[in-house]
A and B are shown apart, each in its own frame.
Chain A
Amino acid sequence: MQTPCILVVDDDREIVKAISINLRNEGYRVIEAYDGMQALEAISSQDIHLILLDIMMPKLDGLSATMKIRQEKNIPIIILSAKSEDSDKILGLSMGADDYVTKPFNPMELMARVKSQLRRYMTLGDVNMKEKNNKIIRTGRLAFDTETRTLTADGNPVRLTATETRIVELLIKNMGRVFPAEEIYERVWGEVAYSVENTVMVHIRRIREKIEINPREPEYLKVVWGIGYKIEKI
């Protein structure tokens, strides 16, 4: 398998450099660009597998660049932006980006997200085509096999305890639906629920640490405050 090539685009050269060092340390090839036009040129001339893209850039901003890229290519795009509002994130993702990371970011987290996107793009893309049965439930980077009752994240198996597996099974089979702690407890433990918020929460946190890239800002297993818990459909 060829070395994945990553395009880093930001008008701040130092940031590009820092990201490049981290990516090279991980063994990737890196191409650097400092505005949207350069990014488009690089994409047309090189074989690129992932793009890290800033929004606020001269000449062509990140959102417009994303739209242009999406017209031709299916390369994963991770947006890097200082804009941290939910509305900014939604806008970026709806323009065709695959992930949205707010500045200032944790380099480790960024690397994890890069890896996740690359794995899905380069390997899982084919796997997805092969398995066409209904036994596998997918959301984003997660996949749950209902037959073997195993969970994978970016294709890597996640080691869950029996209780955790049951919680994940319940939530992922009813993806998007919010379950109160009592219902989760009654259906997973099979006992009458009384003051179970802590118990459920402890398990939820543990699962998060296993499946989320940044457990503090979960993308999949979410708390709906004041109501319950759910797994997000992505």
Chain B
Amino acid sequence: MDTRSKKSKAFKFWLCFFIGINIVGLSIMAGLTIATQFYAERLHWDFKETQSFKDNIAAKFHTLASYIAHDSNMEDAAENKEYSDPYLVELEDEGENLIYYAKNPKNQKVITNTEIDSILDTKASISLPEGYDFYIYYNGEKFTGQKDGKPLDIYRDREYKNSLLSPYLESPPSYTEQLGYDIQGCQILLIVKKDIVGNPYAYSSLYNLQKRNNLLKWMIIAAIIVFTVGLGLLVLSIIKRKYIKEFEHMLGKMLGTIFFELKMPVLLIGSLIILITAQQLFQMSFRYAVLFAVASFWFLYIVWIDFGTNGMGVFTNTIVNALIQSYKAFEKKRPFQKALLMRFYTFVGLEILLMLLAVIFFLIAGAKGFLFILFTIVIITLAVYLFYRYVRRYTNTIDDIGKIIDQTDRIRQGDTTTKLQLSPDADLFVLAENLNTIQEGIAEAVERSVKSERMKVELITNVSHDLKTPLTSIISYVDLLKKEDMLPDHVKDYIRILAQKSERLKTLIQDIFDLSKAVSGEMEFEKKALDLGKLIEQTLADLDDPIAQSQLKFKINIPDDPVPIISDGNKLYRVFLNLFQNTLKYSLKGTRVYVDLVTNDKKAIVTIKNIANYEMNFSEEEIIERFVRGDKARSTEGSGLGLAIAQSFTRACGGDFNIKIDGDLFKVMLTFDIKSDKIIEKDEMK
């Protein structure tokens, strides 16, 4: 199902709902109105039961009665049916709908439109002619009647009692007084046709009354049908309320685009009308009340949908906000610094303009009164709102700057997972996004390098293991060879060389292994508080013999007070051992070697200076990073990794390692953080 048909479906079902509610509401109104009328006029499904019929019959009886009771001019009228007395036109006009018969035995007056005298043959009952089902008969004393073959109780019927018939229903003396004549002993009969038909020659009142009654009947039926249809639609829409909801959502969205300034008067007027309606509901005419109720329902419905969909957005979607938004969109295309400047100028300009307007309106208000005061208030409100928006935006940007500073700090500390989330609307959004991208790049690079380092370490571990195993055999068998006595001297010399080189290979492998572990950060460190001065002294003491044998003079300057640092003693020993061994190896004979330990508040600096016994034709970086040894010939013992190990161990121990070459002066500087005595004491306690 594509969206369009879904939309139209939603609309259709909502239309069902809309029409259903309207019909049900209005039909309730219409139905009630008709019903009231129906009741008021004693309308009845059966026409011959209605009040209008009974009144009509009563009037006709009254005409006949008064006609027959009076004496004058009766003969002529009776004889000449063609020209009936104007009195009787009323009866004649009914045509075949009505058969009447009246006889006054006192003056022998008979008046009828039928030849059939026989209907009055017997006193007891009246046989109705074919096609007639109603009669009302006064036999001189009493009323009898019949309808649809059932006798009528005229004396108890409310309508007959209230109609013109009422005087005749009472006992003789009282009604003669009222009427002025006496119909006692008279026979009066009225017969009404079963199916009342129209009289083409005259106006039949009975026929027209029946027509009106039928019309009302059909109206009620139609109202019921319409009501049923409406109810059906309503039920259908309730069943399919999913679509209704959808349409309501669409409607809400659409309503959301309307500015609050436009809605506000509608809301005010609407609420006012509802209030008045609610107050006056019972004093209003019924149909207006229902109309108002239905209208109020739709008004509340629209308001409800608007607030339900847009929430507080109803209030914020104002023309002012829309203008600010479009200004923002305009601003976004500008470079950052221009945009900020432009915003400032626009803000100041607008504020000045509004203030001027406010002053002008206020001055006019002095003369013209209330409306202009209202304008002034509106303008001042606008100016304050603008100021609030500007300040809020400004504060937000400052907040964002703070967040970005924090974020850069986090990135610097190696946090590569926490992302900076700024609102896409923010001034610094682009900056934040760029920062996030950079952070991702860093995370990726770090991950890649960590992975490759780990692989390198693994490789080196495996390689060094694989190298050590054959080397074990070499060393073992060289050793066995050494024990052979019978070998010639030159062979013993070869063996000596083999032994020497295999030993060197052994150190080399171990050094590569250590270095790679230190560089990749895989090395385990046992850091604890120690005295740097003492460590240097111990190392020098450890090298006492070689130092004594060398033709070098070591000038050592270490403070008497302990120099506390936190580090791994074994690793630092290795550092200084390497450095001093280098010094012993590469210093010019007869020169002095300076070992100084200087401290300031926070740092301990060790410098080792010596004069090289060769030309140092390389840079500071080269000597560490390459596989270089002091002299490029690489003839002496050692792996050539001494400085590299010293540097990486120092760094891993938390120190700084620098080399300076100045002509023949070779200078190594190590820097460590001094930890206060208290920390050391605490550590020792542990």
Contact = CB atoms under 8 A, between A and B. Distances in A.
Interface of A: 12, 14-15, 18-19, 21-22, 25, 56, 82-87, 103-108, 180-181, 197-198, 200-202, 205, 223-228
B476 A225 contact: no
Question: Would you list the 9 A-B pairs with minimal beta carbon distance, nearest first?
Answer: A226-B530, A225-B569, A201-B541, A226-B535, A18-B476, A197-B537, A82-B468, A104-B472, A225-B573
A18 B572 contact: no
Given A226-B534, A227-B569, A19 B541 contact: no
B510 A15 contact: no
B569 A224 contact: yes
B533 to A, nearest CB: 8
B569 A201 contact: no
B479 interface: yes
A176 to B, nearest CB: 14
B506 interface: yes
B435 to A, nearest CB: 40
Given A22-B480, A226-B569, 19 more contacts: A12-B473, A18-B477, A19-B476, A22-B479, A82-B468, A82-B469, A86-B524, A104-B468, A104-B502, A105-B472, A180-B534, A201-B538, A201-B544, A223-B538, A225-B539, A226-B531, A226-B534, A226-B572, A227-B531
26 contacts: A12-B469, A12-B472, A14-B477, A15-B476, A18-B476, A18-B477, A22-B476, A56-B465, A82-B464, A82-B468, A82-B472, A104-B471, A104-B475, A106-B479, A181-B534, A198-B537, A201-B541, A201-B544, A202-B541, A224-B530, A225-B530, A225-B535, A225-B572, A226-B538, A227-B531, A227-B569
Contacts of B573: 223, 225
Contacts of A108: 479
Contact of B475 (A107, A197, A227, A228): A107
A18 B538 contact: no
B524 A87 contact: yes
Contacts of B569: 224-227
A19 B472 CA distance: 10
Contacts of A201: 538, 541-542, 544
A200 B540 CA distance: 12
A14 B538 contact: no
Given A56-B465, A226-B538, A18 B524 contact: no
Contacts of B539: 225
A87 B524 CA distance: 9
A198 B569 CA distance: 18
B465 A227 contact: no
Contacts of A85: 524
B510 A84 contact: yes
A224 to B, nearest CB: 6
B513 interface: yes
Interface in B480-532: 480, 483, 502, 506, 510, 513, 524, 530-532
Contacts of B531: 226-227
A19 B479 CA distance: 11
Contacts of A83: 465
Contacts of A107: 475-476, 479-480
A188 B273 CA distance: 111
Interface in B196-232: none
Contacts of A226: 530-532, 534-535, 538, 565, 567, 569, 572
B541 A14 contact: no
B434 interface: no
A18 B480 contact: yes
Interface in B302-357: none
Nearest to A102: B468
A84 B475 contact: no
B534 A197 contact: yes
B570 interface: yes
A225 B480 contact: no
A148 to B, nearest CB: 31
Interface in B524-576: 524, 530-532, 534-535, 537-542, 544, 565, 567, 569-570, 572-573
Nearest to B475: A104
Nearest to B556: A195
Contact of B473 (A15, A87, A181, A202): A15
B681 to A, nearest CB: 13
A84 B541 contact: no
A193 to B, nearest CB: 11
A144 to B, nearest CB: 24
A165 B147 CA distance: 151
Nearest to B509: A104
A103 B468 contact: yes
A197 B538 contact: yes
Contacts of A86: 524
Contacts of A14: 473, 476-477
Contacts of A205: 542, 544
A205 B544 CA distance: 10
Nearest to B483: A25
A84 B517 CA distance: 12
B469 A103 contact: yes
Contact of B570 (A56, A84, A225): A225
B677 to A, nearest CB: 14
A107 B482 CA distance: 11
Contacts of B570: 225
Nearest to B467: A82
A14 B472 CA distance: 9
Question: Among A22, A105, A106, A197, which residue has the most Cβ atoms of chain B within 10 A?
Answer: A197
B686 to A, nearest CB: 14
Interface string B440-484: 000000000000000000000000110011011111110110010
Contacts of B538: 181, 197, 201, 223, 225-226
Contacts of B464: 82
Contact of A21 (B480, B532, B534): B480
Nearest to A110: B476
B534 A103 contact: no
A82 B544 CA distance: 31
Contacts of A180: 534
Contacts of B469: 12, 15, 82, 103
Residue of A18, A84, A86, A225 contacting most chain B CB atoms (<10 Å): A225
Given A18-B473, A225-B572, A226-B534, A198 B544 contact: yes
B472 A15 contact: yes
Contacts of A21: 480
A82 B476 contact: no
B475 A106 contact: yes
A47 B465 CA distance: 32
Nearest to A199: B541
Given A12-B469, A103-B469, A106-B475, A227 B542 contact: no
A108 B502 CA distance: 15
Most B CB contacts (10 A, CB to CB) among A56, A104, A202 go to A104
A106 B480 CA distance: 11
A22 to B, nearest CB: 7
Contacts of B468: 82, 103-104
Interface in B614-656: none
